Chains A and B, each alone.
Chain A
């Protein structure tokens, strides 16, 4: 750690770090487009130019090595002048239609304009260079050439992270644009991240585009239930007028120990299956309760590795109190899902809590399981060679509908043995598995 001076205030920063990242830790923001912690330094946007005392010219903060005692000025007149000039250049051909842009509310260009510029345009609207709009780049990525600031983040993502090399920059000067080779569309399981890392509205998601304004959305931190990796998610939800609350999108949330900055597309679009479902059959739960009371010894309980640790322990208690055998099921392996190239965030076991189930040490050998089984599962129905199972799941085909993994609090243990907490995104319409078990055990009513 060394001491540097920022606007005559002293800060301790890591000598080997990057100025932008290091100062962010102290709550100081240096504006930037092309620099990204996961993609490294590119140095082409020049937005992070700052005044460094002792240097003749402004320097780019992303690629200026940190040395002990260096003094930088990020609010000086020179720095402001450079930032204004830069923003004016970016805005020459950029459409000034923020209210209709899908990225409004989370666009760096918009934020920096409000923060550092606020100048009027010296270019008449009619003189702007009009470029292509709504180009389908494949894999749910829609490109708007007009809004692009050519920061190359998307290009570098396909080269550094997914290693699929679909994107490049063609042309030069004001004719430069993001291009696909030979119109071959983006085809990689991480394409959604391109939308996330784009600092402006040039790359938008075909799935989320214009469905909701981002400032209406409520963001909750959660854990992806798509596979055993358990990537950190930001879940954006909202309640449209006269309708139930809905999840609108999943975004990657930074978690250094698990997924870094990115998530896979399977996890990203899995929100579609996790919407609220109202319970269709109130009698089913009552019937099950009556049946349980009448035939205590005829039941077995099966929990799957999709459940949270809390739900599993509730199931243990449940099985014990009825004298039933508890079985575990974690056979959700899909080898084709596993990645050998790129970010390697996809793990073959497609449930979130396999390690948690292993901790319970339940039997996964189902040869002696009884025919009357209560199955607790969060996710799609799976084939089980049983004559009379009762599926308790958050899906329409379930016998009893429960709240999904994103509608209840719970802990999961991922493939590396990391225990993490996932918070409920919305208050559920259907009761959670824990509530159902409590009801069946006569502790309290299921909501």
Chain B
């Protein structure tokens, strides 16, 4: 199933378009729309956006390549993105990542076989005073340690198993 805008979304894009003087300003908000809905933005989606909005495909591709929060391929339902900057590293994020990899049975950048988790890195989350930290979806988790991480993963697994 490929991505399509709803009439309301298209209307809101047109509203945005009237406020900016360069159509390229729409690239980021539009990419967010797609990402929120389906979790990633594939090449087919970019071609759809190009046709629908008249903004060149390469501009979307450049933005996806530059910004770490945009995915160009399908990811797990819950994306765990560890902050990769120096403060978190000094507070032991590398060990935590290894622990997490063992726990989920996947490596960095991979998605678990049940499609629930994927592991990734993020640029600085601006949470250095509570390092190490990570994103789970769009939610920040700070002052992480092995127990916290394990209980979070278990909680998510239980929630999804009971559904």
Whole-angstrom distance between the Cβ of B40 and the nearest chain A Cβ: 15
Interface residues of B in 37-67 (CB under 8 A from A): 43, 46-47, 56-59, 61-62, 64-66
Residue among B46, B57, B58 with the highest chain A CB neighbour number at 10 A: B58
- Chain A residues whose C-beta falls within 8 Å of the C-beta of B59 in the assembled complex: 165, 168
Asked if A171 lies at the interface with its beta carbon under 8 angstroms from chain B, I say: yes
Q: What separation, in Å, do the CA atoms of A24 and B143 have in the docked complex? A: 58
Closest to B58 in A: A168
Report 22 cross-chain contacts, Cβ distance below 8 Å, ordered by A residue.
Answer: A165-B57, A165-B58, A166-B58, A167-B58, A168-B59, A168-B61, A168-B62, A168-B65, A169-B62, A170-B65, A171-B65, A171-B66, A172-B65, A172-B66, A179-B61, A179-B65, A181-B58, A181-B61, A182-B43, A182-B46, A182-B47, A182-B61
Q: What separation, in Å, do the CA atoms of A165 and B59 have in the docked complex? A: 9
10 more contacts with CB within 8 A, not counting A167-B58, A170-B61, A182-B57, are: A166-B58, A168-B59, A170-B62, A170-B64, A170-B65, A170-B66, A172-B65, A179-B65, A181-B57, A182-B43
Q: What separation, in Å, do the CA atoms of A179 and B61 have in the docked complex? A: 9
Q: What separation, in Å, do the CA atoms of A348 and B47 have in the docked complex? A: 33
Across the interface, do A181 and B46 meet the contact criterion of CB distance under 8 Å?
yes
Residues of A in contact with B, size category: 10 to 19
- Chain B residues whose C-beta falls within 8 Å of the C-beta of A179 in the assembled complex: 61, 65
Interface residues of A in 305-352 (CB under 8 A from B): none
Closest to B55 in A: A165
Annotate A156-179 by CB proximity to B: 1 below 8 A, 0 otherwise.
Answer: 000000000111111110000001
- Chain B residues whose C-beta falls within 8 Å of the C-beta of A167 in the assembled complex: 58
Q: What separation, in Å, do the CA atoms of A55 and B36 have in the docked complex? A: 46
- Chain A residues whose C-beta falls within 8 Å of the C-beta of B57 in the assembled complex: 165, 181-182
Residues of B in contact with A, size category: 10 to 19
Known contacts A170-B61, A179-B61; is-contact A165 B56 (Cβ 8 Å): yes
Whole-angstrom distance between the Cβ of A163 and the nearest chain B Cβ: 10
Decide if the interface of chain A is mainly helix, strand, loop or mixed: mixed
Q: What separation, in Å, do the CA atoms of A179 and B64 have in the docked complex? A: 12
Q: What separation, in Å, do the CA atoms of A165 and B61 have in the docked complex? A: 11
Closest to A177 in B: B65
- Chain B residues whose C-beta falls within 8 Å of the C-beta of A171 in the assembled complex: 65-66
Whole-angstrom distance between the Cβ of B115 and the nearest chain A Cβ: 25
- Chain A residues whose C-beta falls within 8 Å of the C-beta of B61 in the assembled complex: 168, 170, 179, 181-182
Q: What separation, in Å, do the CA atoms of A146 and B58 have in the docked complex? A: 22
Whole-angstrom distance between the Cβ of B109 and the nearest chain A Cβ: 13
Q: What separation, in Å, do the CA atoms of A144 and B55 have in the docked complex? A: 28
- Chain A residues whose C-beta falls within 8 Å of the C-beta of B65 in the assembled complex: 168-172, 179
Q: What separation, in Å, do the CA atoms of A56 and B98 have in the docked complex? A: 47
Whole-angstrom distance between the Cβ of B69 and the nearest chain A Cβ: 12
- Chain A residues whose C-beta falls within 8 Å of the C-beta of B56 in the assembled complex: 165
Q: What separation, in Å, do the CA atoms of A181 and B64 have in the docked complex? A: 11
Annotate A165-205 by CB proximity to B: 1 below 8 A, 0 otherwise.
Answer: 11111111000000101100000000000000000000000
Q: What separation, in Å, do the CA atoms of A94 and B56 have in the docked complex? A: 31
Closest to B64 in A: A170
Closest to A155 in B: B58
Closest to A158 in B: B58
Q: What separation, in Å, do the CA atoms of A165 and B58 have in the docked complex? A: 7
Closest to A169 in B: B62
- Chain B residues whose C-beta falls within 8 Å of the C-beta of A169 in the assembled complex: 62, 65
Interface residues of B in 61-97 (CB under 8 A from A): 61-62, 64-66
Q: What separation, in Å, do the CA atoms of A165 and B55 have in the docked complex? A: 10
Whole-angstrom distance between the Cβ of B122 and the nearest chain A Cβ: 13
Closest to A184 in B: B57
- Chain B residues whose C-beta falls within 8 Å of the C-beta of A168 in the assembled complex: 58-59, 61-62, 65
Q: What separation, in Å, do the CA atoms of A181 and B61 have in the docked complex? A: 7
Closest to B47 in A: A182
Residue among A169, A170, A171 with the highest chain B CB neighbour number at 10 A: A170
- Chain B residues whose C-beta falls within 8 Å of the C-beta of A181 in the assembled complex: 43, 46, 57-58, 61
Whole-angstrom distance between the Cβ of A148 and the nearest chain B Cβ: 15
Whole-angstrom distance between the Cβ of A180 and the nearest chain B Cβ: 8
- 3 A-B pairs closest in CB distance: A170-B65, A168-B58, A165-B56
Q: What separation, in Å, do the CA atoms of A253 and B62 have in the docked complex? A: 32
Interface residues of A in 91-106 (CB under 8 A from B): none
Whole-angstrom distance between the Cβ of A125 and the nearest chain B Cβ: 27
- Chain A residues whose C-beta falls within 8 Å of the C-beta of B62 in the assembled complex: 168-170
Whole-angstrom distance between the Cβ of A170 and the nearest chain B Cβ: 3
Closest to A171 in B: B65
Whole-angstrom distance between the Cβ of B72 and the nearest chain A Cβ: 10
Whole-angstrom distance between the Cβ of A175 and the nearest chain B Cβ: 9
- Chain B residues whose C-beta falls within 8 Å of the C-beta of A166 in the assembled complex: 58
Q: What separation, in Å, do the CA atoms of A170 and B62 have in the docked complex? A: 5
Whole-angstrom distance between the Cβ of B43 and the nearest chain A Cβ: 5
- Chain B residues whose C-beta falls within 8 Å of the C-beta of A182 in the assembled complex: 43, 46-47, 57, 61
Residue among A169, A179, A181, A182 with the highest chain B CB neighbour number at 10 A: A181
Closest to A175 in B: B65
Whole-angstrom distance between the Cβ of B67 and the nearest chain A Cβ: 8
Closest to B57 in A: A181
- Chain B residues whose C-beta falls within 8 Å of the C-beta of A172 in the assembled complex: 65-66
Closest to A183 in B: B43
Q: What separation, in Å, do the CA atoms of A182 and B56 have in the docked complex? A: 13
Whole-angstrom distance between the Cβ of A271 and the nearest chain B Cβ: 31
